[in-house]
Amino acid sequence: MTHASAERAALADLLDRLGQDAPTLCEGWTTFDLAAHLVLRERRPDAAGGIALAPLARRTASVQESLKARYGYAGLTRLIRTGPGGVYRLVPRLDELVNPLEFFVHHEDVRRARPDWEPRELPPGLDEVLWRRLRIVGRLQLRRSPVGVVLHRTGGGVVLGGGRGGPRVEVRGTAGELTLFCLGRQRHARVETIGGDEAVSRLLGAPLDL
């Protein structure tokens, strides 16, 4: 089993167990909305532009709602479980190249929206995969940071990002926690932040997600 398929299966299990009305860390979304987002992302690339581009967001939201109406919650979770779908099925290795990070983050979006969550120990291979992705994605996400950022991975590795020439914050943690931090889940990531109080506060409140 690949890292992408393992995270996909674990998320599908959790979605099935919690039902369609459970909260997530994605603002305004329940588990039903998140399930529709995941299916849209893989199976409706014609409507996925609004995930990252605000001018297209209305169409993306409309198609997402239509998927909810067409498949229902059980149907959406079944499609997630049987993936990868769409282009991720057609292009060899694309699923394992892109989806370990996607499904890890959304798995944690559901887990960490619950009051009793605790970090889970990731397989060493997944930790390494997330770090390799973060060395690219992290720099892109941290362009939105109002302060300089130094990511220190537990076990070794550094990524620099954010503004230059001003205050700087060091963020220390595992690859998984740093990934969540850089993708807009700063206040839900178990990391250590080192820097001035104002700089840390600005970083924690920055819109690092898409």
- Kindly tell me if the per-residue pLDDT of 210 is higher than 70: no
pLDDT tens, residue by residue, 58-76: 999 999 999 999 999 999 9
Beta strands in 16-116 (DSSP E): none
H or E element that contains 154: none
- Kindly tell me if the per-residue pLDDT of 186 is higher than 70: yes
Which residues, at least 6 apart from 144, have a Cβ–Cβ distance to it below 8 Å? Answer: 206, 207, 208
Q: Are 8 and 99 in contact (CB under 8 A)?
A: yes
C-alpha to C-alpha distances, 113 to 65, 170, 188, 208, nearest whole angstrom:
22, 26, 9, 18
Q: How many CA atoms lie within 13 A of 184 on its CB side?
A: 13
Q: What is the pTM of this model?
A: 0.93
Q: Are 154 and 170 in contact (CB under 8 A)?
A: no
Closest among 107, 95, 160, 167 to 134, alpha carbons compared: 160
Q: If 0-12 CB within 10 Å is exposed, 13-18 middle and 19+ buried, where does residue 53 land?
A: exposed
CATH fold for domain 124-204: Nonspecific Lipid-transfer Protein; Chain A (3.30.1050)
30 phi/psi in degrees, rounded to 5: -90, 180
Three-class SS of residue 79? helix
Mean pLDDT, range 148-159, rounded to an integer? 93
Q: How confident is the model at residue 133 (pLDDT cuts 50, 70, 90)?
A: very high
Domain ranges across the chain: 3-111, 124-204
Amino acid at 48: A
Q: Tell me: cis bond preceding 55? Omega within 30 of 0 counts.
A: no
- Kindly tell me if the per-residue pLDDT of 130 is higher than 90: yes
